[in-house]
Amino acid sequence: MSLSFLNNRVLGINSRNFDYIFQYNSRKYYKSVDEKLQTKLYAKEVSIPVPETYAVIELWSEISSITEDLKKYDSFVIKPNRGAAGRGVFVVKEKLEDSWILADGKSVSSEDVHYHISSILSGLYSLSELPDKAIVEQRIIPHPFFNEITWEGTPDIRIILFQAVPVMAMLRLPTKKSGGRANLHQGAVGVGVDIDSGKTNSAVIKNYHVEVHPDTNAKLIGLKIPSWKKIFEDARKLARVIPLKYIGIDFMLDFEHGHLVVEANARPGLNIQLANNLGLRTKLEAIRNQRME
Amino acid sequence: MKRPSQHAFILAGALIVLAIAIFSTRYIILDGNISGLFSGPKWNISFNISAETKDNKAYVKLFAPSLSDAQHITSEDYKFENVTLHFLTEGVEKNRVLEWRNSGRKGAKNIQLLFSAQIDNSKPYSRPIKKEKQEELIPYYLKNTEKIQAASPVIYKKAEELTSGFSDENEKIKKIYDFCAYEIGNKFVLGTDDALTCLENKSSDCGGKSRLMVALCRAVGVSARLAGGLLLDEGIKNKTHVWVEVWQNNSWVPYCPLNRHAETLPQTYLLLYRGDYALMRHKYIDNLSYFFNISKSPIYLSHTNNVSTNLIHSIANSMSLSQLPPGKQWIIHIFLLLPVGALVVCVFRNIIGIPAIGTFGPALIALGIYMVPLKWGIITLLIFLSLGLSVRWIMDKLKLLLVPRLSVMLTVVIIGMIILVLMTNNVETELGAYVGLLPVVILTMLIERCWMLELEDGFLTMFKNLMGTLVTVTVIYFVFRWKPLSQALFVIPELLLIIIALMLMVGCYSWFRVSEFFRFYSLKNSNIKT
């Protein structure tokens, strides 16, 4: 073990909480990002595209009729309004006679869907375990850019902004090991993205540097993310209206609708530093000092 | 901009100062001078009993020490196997009795009762009794009994002879005491001497001499009774001692005709019971043997249950936890440990960075198992966890709503506990006796969280979190088992303020967690870019 990484100005979790989240993110505004419906409203306010909402379920009595209604969609996503870390997200990719196929290949009946929605409503996936709402929305079909480089599932792009200045970005690519989810803890690839150019510059799986995607063997370095300028600008626009100063915004790239904001986060994780092979602290402090002048 | 951490540090500092201030105030008020705090011996006593039970209904009753102003009992603890323990209050004298009954197999049993005692003869030997209570109690101690033959003409004649010419009750008592202490010889006897035999032989041991004194007092209309206990002296002994309590000037006054102490007893007289009883009673028992192992504590704080009319004094007194009866002390001990557990959790979370399931879960689990050997605690925990996860697996198939599902799990956990208690009842383990302390709700939530973690983040994450939980539980377990800590907290509850201060400081810790040195290790080689 060596302390030399400290020279790299890495931001630790205590310092993130203490120096940024506690100081810049007021608790009363957390729900602007903790609740996905709120985030969508903010995005609409500044005309940033979001996945189309098919239904919002608040009451138990609505579950049955809405489950019935869902039969008219070939694919959709059910997620908790106050979910965290991608928990409780149900991605339906195909409709069969009287069942659906999930993104991971499992087949589910309308009873399973009913049960899942009721679990969401009772707060199982909700931050702080409070009763929650379930959102049914458009399923994102990954942009062709991803077809060759990633495995199943939907990749996303995370940008961390401080005082509405984009600080660091990363692309999260699902792997077989992550079960198709763009969750770094489960083994998805984190690909660092140069914030100005939108070019990928390094990649990690957990703590290990990689050059290629483990399932597709596709090269991960030096790729340019499509419509990066727009993503960058929209992230800034959204960060200006959300009343929190240190946030992470997640985008997905849909093959038809282009970049969409899927959610924002008031406590964005620190693995983005591993993906970029760079600490956050230098840049954050520069912004802070600039603003204080 | 002033960081909020500065305020937290100021507050932490203030709490530490406050804790020291409260403690020193208490210490000065109660002892007058600082050096007085470390005075008066504290004895550690272990009362060891071994016996063979012949029948499942076998039991042994023995007297356990109770608190009084002059007698201070702390750190009561028991070690036993295959018996169940109960505390009872028995007799007119309201003696505290520890009853153990056979549970599990017949055969050899060992029981250990451990406690610490401090005796202060400057404090009143007994408290005044209410008037109504007196009228009811005092005549009881004038009775003629098989061994205290107060109504025997021989005793009556002797009593008359000793006290004739004295009208003052105190003088009569003095005469009787002088006779028993100085004219009746001290002599070892086999068995139990009654009052008459003692008078006839003109000698006896503590029991005979004390019974004679009680009988003579009763014969002249003065209430008196026997008291039994232990003479504290370092080493191993199996002899108890008996002395006399006389109702004099509206309180019980002690006399020891054997060792010739009148009105006060030395600080070595530990009272275990009052009345003419044997130390132990038992049924269906063979080869009962016992001994006391007594040692002196090298360092101790003097106890502080002065009875004082001074208001400040009594306020300071009321803050002393050791004035509580042993049964309540036990609850306080548990309360005091929990904040320490919480502090360990804070350190593990924020400074070391070991993940655990549930915030205070590890502290509560450690509290639930700290009485049993660690391996049994962990094994029980894992048994419940796997049982719970299998039930959870079935529940998952049933697609139940969240709260009813958790309620089912809770009930299953409780059923599991009952079964475990029943099973271990007949097996050579003390597990069942303490398993009831495992917090069922925490256990239920632990099962649910493990299930969700496995489902959402994979087995590896669940396993890591579970291991983190077990490590935290283990560390807290050893912290809880560390006797000096719990004793210090008990004597100096002001330490809780210092614990809050430490928590505040951990709350301001914004440097790296130890785990992050590993997490960000791969960043060591990158170039610094801006």
Domain extents in chain A: 4-50+142-292, 53-137
Q: For residue B402, how many other CB atoms are within 10 A of its CB? A: 17
Separation between Cα atoms, residue B462 and residue B473, nearest integer Å:
16
Separation between Cα atoms, residue B516 and residue B519, nearest integer Å:
4
Nearest by CB: B350 against A14, A112, A115:
A14
Q: For residue A66, how many other CB atoms are within 10 A of its CB? A: 19
Q: Which residues numbered 86-115 in A keep a CB inside 8 Å of some CB on B?
A: 87-88, 111-112, 115
Overall CATH class of domain B131-263: alpha beta
- Measured torsion, CA atoms of residues B144, B148, B149, B155, in degrees rounded to the nearest 10: -120
A5 touches chain B (CB under 8 A): yes
- What's the whole-number mean pLDDT along residues A131-157? 87
- Longest Cα pair distance anywhere in chain A, in angstroms? 64
Q: B510 and A19: CB-CB below 8 Å?
A: yes
> Taking all residues of chain B, what is their mean pLDDT, rounded to a whole number?
82
Q: B522 and A7: CB-CB below 8 Å?
A: no
Helices B361-369 + B374-398 axis angle, to 10: 130
Q: Which residues contact A115 (CB under 8 A, 6 or more apart)?
A: B399
- Digit-coded pLDDT (tens) for B27-58: 777 653 333 333 457 788 999 988 888 887 88
**Distance of residue B526 Cα from the nearest chain A Cα, in angstroms:** 6
Quote the pLDDT of residue B530: 37
Quote the pLDDT of residue B315: 65
Quote the pLDDT of residue B311: 65
**Distance of residue B452 Cα from the nearest chain A Cα, in angstroms:** 9
Quote the pLDDT of residue B234: 86
Quote the pLDDT of residue B217: 93
Q: B510 and A85: CB-CB below 8 Å?
A: no
Q: Is A188 left (phi over 0), alpha (psi -120 to 50) or beta?
A: beta
- Whether residue B300 has pLDDT greater than 80: no
- Digit-coded pLDDT (tens) for A33-91: 888 999 999 999 999 999 999 989 888 888 888 888 888 888 899 999 988 777 788 88
- For A144-162, give the DSSP string: HHHHTT--SS--EEEEEEE
Please give the sequence-ordered ranges of beta strands (E in DSSP) within A164-231, or none if there are none: 165-173, 189-193, 200-205, 208-210
3-state DSSP assignment of residue B204: strand
Q: Which residue of B526, B527, B530 is the best one to mutate when testing the A interface, meaning the one whose CB has the most A CBs within 10 A?
A: B526
Q: Is B218 left (phi over 0), alpha (psi -120 to 50) or beta?
A: alpha
Quote the pLDDT of residue B33: 32
Domain pair A4-50+142-292 / A53-137, same fold:
no
Q: A1 and B521: CB-CB below 8 Å?
A: yes
For A258, counting Cβ atoms within 10 Å of its Cβ (0-12 exposed, 13-18 middle, 19+ buried), the class is middle
- Measured torsion, CA atoms of residues B479, B481, B484, B485, in degrees rounded to the nearest 10: 40
Quote the pLDDT of residue B131: 75
Q: Which of the listed ranges B65-69, B83-87, B101-105, B177-181 does the model predict with the highest average pLDDT?
A: B177-181
Quote the pLDDT of residue A290: 84
Quote the pLDDT of residue B298: 55
Q: Which residues numbered 104-143 in B keep a CB inside 8 Å of some CB on A?
A: none
Range from A59-63, B20-24, B200-204, B457-461 carrying the lowest mean pLDDT: B457-461
Quote the pLDDT of residue A230: 93
A24 touches chain B (CB under 8 A): no
Chains A, B: CB contacts within 8 A come to: 97
Q: Which amino acid is at A242?
A: I
Quote the pLDDT of residue B492: 82
Q: B457 and A183: CB-CB below 8 Å?
A: yes
Please name the CATH architecture into which domain B47-121+280-322 falls: Sandwich (2.60)
B518 touches chain A (CB under 8 A): yes
Q: Where are the domains of chain B?
A: 47-121+280-322, 131-263, 355-495
**In angstroms, what is the C-alpha Rg of chain B?**
30
Quote the pLDDT of residue B32: 37
Nearest by CB: B516 against A13, A123, A185:
A13
User: Superfamily assignment of A4-50+142-292 in CATH?
Assistant: ATP-grasp fold, B domain (3.30.470.20)
Quote the pLDDT of residue B133: 76
- Digit-coded pLDDT (tens) for B487-521: 788 878 889 999 999 999 998 888 888 888 888 87
How is residue B459 written in tokens? 């087995």
- Digit-coded pLDDT (tens) for B200-223: 999 999 999 999 999 999 999 999
Quote the pLDDT of residue B34: 32
Q: Which residues numbered 305-364 in B keep a CB inside 8 Å of some CB on A?
A: 350, 353
- Digit-coded pLDDT (tens) for B331-342: 788 889 999 999
- Digit-coded pLDDT (tens) for B403-446: 788 888 889 888 888 887 777 666 545 555 555 566 777 888 88
- Digit-coded pLDDT (tens) for A170-208: 999 998 888 777 888 888 999 999 999 999 999 999 888
Q: Which residues contact B408 (CB under 8 A, 6 or more apart)?
A: B391, B395, B400
B522 touches chain A (CB under 8 A): yes
Alpha helices in B83-229 (DSSP H): 131-137, 153-163, 169-178, 195-201, 206-219
- Whether residue B314 has pLDDT greater than 70: no
Strand-pair partners of B89: B96
The residue whose two tokens read 């009287």 is A98
- Digit-coded pLDDT (tens) for B107-130: 788 888 888 888 877 777 887 777
A227 touches chain B (CB under 8 A): no
- Whether residue B397 has pLDDT greater than 50: yes
Quote the pLDDT of residue B433: 53
Separation between Cα atoms, residue A144 and residue A155, nearest integer Å:
11
Of the options 1.10.10, 3.30.1490, 1.20.81, 3.40.50, the CATH number for the domain spanning A53-137: 3.30.1490
- Digit-coded pLDDT (tens) for B268-296: 899 999 999 988 888 888 888 899 999 88
Range from A36-50, A225-239, B240-254, B370-384 carrying the lowest mean pLDDT: B370-384
Quote the pLDDT of residue B528: 45
Query: For B126, phi and psi rounded to 5 degrees?
Result: -140, 160
Give the long-range contacts of residues B30-36, CB within 8 A, separation 24 or more.
B30/B304, B30/B306, B30/B313, B30/B316, B30/B317, B30/B320, B31/B302, B31/B304, B36/B302
For the four alpha carbons of A254, A257, A259 and A260, in that order, the dihedral sign comes to negative
A17 touches chain B (CB under 8 A): yes
B295 touches chain A (CB under 8 A): no
Nearest by CB: A207 against B458, B509, B519:
B519
Percentage of the residues of chain B whose pLDDT score is greater than 90: 27
For the four alpha carbons of B195, B200, B202 and B204, in that order, the dihedral sign comes to negative
Quote the pLDDT of residue A186: 80
- Whether residue B305 has pLDDT greater than 60: no
How is residue B33 written in tokens? 């001078």
How is residue B526 written in tokens? 């990158």
